[in-house]
Structure 1
Amino acid sequence: MSNIGSWMQTVGGQWLLVGDGAALVTLMQTASSLPVVLLALPSGVIADRLDRRSVLLAAQFAMLAVSGALTVLAFTDALTPTTLLVLTFLLGCGTALMGPAWQAIQPELVERRQLGQAAALGAVNMNLARAVGPALGGAVVAAAGAGWVFAFNTASYLGIAAVLMMWRRPRTAAPATGNEGLLAALHAGRRYVWNAPGVRRVLLRTLLFIPGGAALWALLPLTASRSLGLGSGGYGLLLAAVGVGAVAGAFALPWVRRVLGANGTLAAGALVFAGVLAVLATVRAPWLVAVALLPAGLAWIGALSTLNAAVQARLPGWVRARGLAVYLLVFQGGQALAAPVWGAVAEWLGLSVSLLIAGAMMLLSAVSVRRWPLHDAEGINPSTSDHWPTPPLVFEPGEAEGPVLVSVVYRVPADHHAEFTDRMRHVARSRRRTGALTWGLYQDGNDPERFVETYLVSSWAEHLAQHHVRLTATDRRREERARELLAPGTLPEVTHAFDTASGSLVSGRVGVGALEGDDAETSG
């Protein structure tokens, strides 16, 4: 119901701006998507640090207030294009705050093996709303004015709030970042994504699909009014055709994935979208355009559910909301930045040419799947693995003490040297994902069978997080594969060294600040 309200409001808002030129129409999409670019990463930190149910409730009530103001202004004829765009931007801020938390709770609702189906079900939800909301919104705007679609959307936020109030998160789903600061948490999320090749590849595929796909949503209102001569009701029916195609496609999606696989689904979706954009550019019969939009819905749901499930399956719980925030940043940000570009191109080169250019971009996206496919996720298990033993220190460091230099000594037979260094590349990514600022693997010049791994962690709290929160079953398997090559009967030797400037000296726990005279100068 809330998604139906959102689509009704989208139709009402866009139709109010149709007479003001292509630039303002496309800015509606920018106003709703740009907040994700600005707030996605902080929202991800908030969703990882705080109770996600509380975050979602706060976002719902904030959007309820903004939508209520929009409704009042519409009924009093005080709603200007600028005010409409500003309030749409504020609603987008609520969506940006809600997005990472909403995505991150999915693994708390279904098992990992069902994430793909859950993502498709979410897409069905959205596209059922797209099938009903635009047509209903167009009819309401034509019959009673835009104020009533804004009023319906305002009331719809109460439904989600009621469901969230009834839901109780699992006890095991508590925030895992502890007292981690905002900047440290942002850096940890960026570090994880940068050192996770599978996640980076999902982001690349999203970036290659979204800009061309955004042209359909940005330019469809102009296509309806200028090329097809339709009113608000006709535009709503065109959007409904996309929604109907997506809902029908959801039933075919499991079969499509079995036949084509994830990468084939992405390539086929881009090809279909390219064909639909070509139809929009060249066909002037409304019924033919509506028929062409049906497979566009299937292509959209296929690509987005595939990408969403791919990123969900690769993220562990401690950084899930931040990783999803980066995904939403690329997804929504791509739409936000592409929409005004398509509006400018349409004004400069014409509507048909801009749609053909977008279709060519989708063709390139399809071809690029062969060069940059999604990585196989079958061997990835993001569940937490607390397999490291407690460090046997002679004193208990404070959480803020650091940096900490961790050294691990391995003995590796000569015939395993090359294979060992190759397997340790995966261990290096694991260390960096979970907190290492630097990493290195060195071979002893006096004893070639002795290898020393070193990595630096910013604080003792960060290293404890590695021990108990951040390592996954996949990380454990990577370590075990490297240690299979050690000399028989030997175990890694681990040491933890603290920066003397931090005051963590073991002998009497003497800090640098306690030194006096010349010694104090020397310590500096």
Structure 2
Amino acid sequence: MTTSSLAGPLSHRSFRLLWQGGLVSNLGTMVQTVGAGWLMATISTQYDMVAFVQAATTLPVMLFSIPAGALADSYERRKILMVAQLLMMGMSLALAIVAFAGHVTPWLLLVLTFLIGCGTALHTPSWQASVGDVVPRDQIAGAVTLNSMGLNLTRSVGPALGGLIVASAGAAAAFAFNAASFLPMIYALLRITPESKAEALPREGLRHAVWAGFRYVSMSPNLVTVILRGFLFGVAAIVILALLPIVARDLLGGGALVYGFLLGAFGLGAIGGGLANSHLRARLSSEGLVRLAFCGMALSACLVAVSRNVWLTGLVLLPAGASWVLALSLFNVMMQLSTPRWVVGRVLSIYQTASFGGMTAGGWLWGRVAEGQGVPTALFIAGALSCVGAAIGLRFAVPPLAARNLDPLDHFREPATQLDLQQRSGPIFIMIEYEIDQTDVPDFLSVMAERRRIRIRDGAQQWVLLRDVENPSFWKEAYHVPTWADYLRHNQRRTRMDATVSERLIALNRGQAKPSVRRMIERETVPQRDDMPLKPFDDLHGLSIT
């Protein structure tokens, strides 16, 4: 990134406050990571229990990110972030108290680490989605890179600080430091003023909101590819962070300071990766950058497996950190720039679930392999899997990183109706009529395939395309939505990028200037009475009947 592209987001007060608060909070998290990992290594001799500390951190993100993403799209994100910060601070404080009292057991450490991870799961979708709320869309990439660089700046400093705290005052002091680190973020959240947006439609229920997120992703092939590659990267790449306490203790014969040094080297490499990000993007395609990250992790894992020197291991962790931030920041930017604001929290949460799910599965897998076959074997196998992840790009390449105009189209206006419809009225049946020349049918079908994807992605159900058997030039597109509010919401989700599809269909239609649209309320059985009365006369006065 250039200096100007990084300075742009920092010129916005709300982003600057959140970024600074996040910097301190992430520093505490790094100190907590050192304390929890080293404490487990001292109270348990089982390799898998040490790896489970990393799994306990990522498992809640895998389990709860998607509901948290739905909350991020439905409620004020600042309030969600506040609740998450208070939850993490409370659990960190509880862990510190128990540790100072000397009552920590391996399973209690895992449980409290899991609960802190629950706060992370609630925090992450709202945190990432709020980037687009506090900076313009053309500065999102710079803001995401700043967040990644801030995280990895603390990753380079935090572990060394954590090692010093653990070595001098014990793990309990590290947990207390983490609890205090949430205060600057809480202060920042109290200072920023969220934009108040008038919501004309009722809020989606949690279950429907979650399903809408899954539906959007499933009908967006570019997002599916990024999510699958992110999952595989998580499985393979987590091996280094999951087994690093054991590498420091058993392969290098060191203590908490060595572990902190190794984490710091990883973080320093990540900062270098963030600084080199823009230069590499200018020279490599998105897929080329992802393959480079996979190969970098593979090389580092194999070299860590054979190294028995602290300085050499620290050196080979530099490309691991760089690869980590290159891949994860690229995946995150892709998800943000490929998703409209109404669903960005859910889409990011689905990506986080896949990515952290891969890390959780990888943390468990490599811990079991290390327990049974040894740490070097686990590192070699993970390195081989990273090579597979790079090779998969030959068949499932991530899409190019291109900004899409996903701003709302804002052309839709609620139609004037004679029936006295309420927002819960439904089901609603929509039919759009086209007249297409026979010579234009191939083009029409090609455009209609894209129209179908957009319709279903934005909430349409039971979509069908009909052709008149007596007059084959007449076609009808039909679909259902559950309620009138869902119909309005469906149309408000249309983006400027989607407008080209409508324009192409209008150009192919040889009938009226625009295809005619019929909206009907559906009844599967004949009602005993007219359950949809007309609007009062005053509402109908002046309404043209078409």
What range describes the TM-score normalised by the shorter chain of this pair? over 0.9
* 2:228 is the alignment partner of 1:204: yes
Structure 1 residue aligned with 2:29: 6
Could you tell me whether the CA contact under 8 Å between 1:138 and 1:235 is conserved in 2?
yes
Q: Pick from 447, 456, 467 the counterpart of residue 480 of structure 2.
A: 456
Structure 2 residue aligned with 1:514: none
* 2:517 is the alignment partner of 1:494: yes
Could you tell me whether the CA contact under 8 Å between 1:503 and 1:510 is conserved in 2?
no
* 2:362 is the alignment partner of 1:341: no
TM-superposed deviation, 1:152: 0.8
Q: Distance in 2 between matches of 1:114 and 1:506?
A: 57
Structure 2 residue aligned with 1:110: 135
Partner deviation per Cα, 1:128-156 (whole Å, 9 max, x = no partner): 11101111111111111111111111111
Structure 2 residue aligned with 1:77: 102
Could you tell me whether the CA contact under 8 Å between 2:231 and 2:356 is conserved in 1?
no
Q: Distance in 1 between matches of 2:469 and 2:300?
A: 63
TM-superposed deviation, 1:489: 4.9
TM-superposed deviation, 1:506: 10
SS in 1 for 2:394: helix
Q: Distance in 2 between matches of 1:166 and 1:463?
A: 38
Q: Distance in 1 between matches of 2:232 and 2:172?
A: 37
Structure 2 residue aligned with 1:318: 342
Q: Pick from 248, 251, 275 the counterpart of residue 227 of structure 1.
A: 251
Could you tell me whether the CA contact under 8 Å between 1:51 and 1:175 is conserved in 2?
no
Return structure 1 stretches of 4+ with deviation > 6 angstroms.
174-177, 502-506
Identity rate of aligned residues, in percent? 36
Partner deviation per Cα, 1:241-289 (whole Å, 9 max, x = no partner): 0111111222211000010022111111111111001101112121111
Output aligned runs, 1:7-406, within 5 Å.
7-19=30-42, 20=44, 21-172=46-197, 178-376=202-400, 378=402, 380-406=404-430
Q: Distance in 2 between matches of 1:378 and 1:287?
A: 40
Q: Distance in 2 between matches of 1:168 and 1:368?
A: 45
TM-superposed deviation, 1:184: 1.4
SS in 2 for 1:342: helix
Could you tell me whether the CA contact under 8 Å between 1:18 and 1:222 is conserved in 2?
yes
TM-superposed deviation, 1:508: 7.2
Amino acid at match of 1:141: V
Summarize the Cα distance change of 1:129–1:492 in structure 2 as closer, same or farther, 3 Å threshold: same
SS in 1 for 2:453: helix
Could you tell me whether the CA contact under 8 Å between 1:397 and 1:504 is conserved in 2?
no
Could you tell me whether the CA contact under 8 Å between 2:420 and 2:533 is conserved in 1?
no
Could you tell me whether the CA contact under 8 Å between 1:399 and 1:459 is conserved in 2?
yes
Could you tell me whether the CA contact under 8 Å between 1:246 and 1:301 is conserved in 2?
yes
SS in 2 for 1:484: helix
Q: Distance in 2 between matches of 1:447 and 1:130?
A: 68
* 2:501 is the alignment partner of 1:478: yes
TM-superposed deviation, 1:170: 2.5
Could you tell me whether the CA contact under 8 Å between 2:31 and 2:178 is conserved in 1?
yes
Could you tell me whether the CA contact under 8 Å between 1:401 and 1:502 is conserved in 2?
no
Q: Distance in 2 between matches of 1:182 and 1:382?
A: 24
Q: Distance in 2 between matches of 1:429 and 1:392?
A: 27
Using the TM superposition, name which of 8-17 and 470-479 deviates more: 470-479
SS in 2 for 1:442: strand
SS in 1 for 2:498: helix
Could you tell me whether the CA contact under 8 Å between 1:212 and 1:361 is conserved in 2?
yes
Q: Distance in 1 between matches of 2:252 and 2:201?
A: 53
Q: Distance in 2 between matches of 1:377 and 1:362?
A: 22
TM-score by length of 2: 0.90
TM-score by length of 1: 0.93
Structure 1 residue aligned with 2:12: none
More helix by share: 1
- In structure 2, runs of 5+ residues without a counterpart are 1-23, 535-546
TM-superposed deviation, 1:188: 1.3
SS in 2 for 1:495: strand
Q: Distance in 2 between matches of 1:434 and 1:67?
A: 40
Q: Distance in 2 between matches of 1:395 and 1:3?
A: 55
Q: Distance in 1 between matches of 2:114 and 2:252?
A: 29
Q: Distance in 1 between matches of 2:204 and 2:415?
A: 21
Structure 2 residue aligned with 1:516: none
Partner deviation per Cα, 1:89-118 (whole Å, 9 max, x = no partner): 110111111111001001112222222222
Counting matched residue pairs gives 509
Amino acid at match of 1:187: W
SS in 1 for 2:508: coil
Q: Distance in 1 between matches of 2:392 and 2:151?
A: 28
- In structure 1, runs of 5+ residues without a counterpart are 512-524
Could you tell me whether the CA contact under 8 Å between 1:387 and 1:467 is conserved in 2?
no
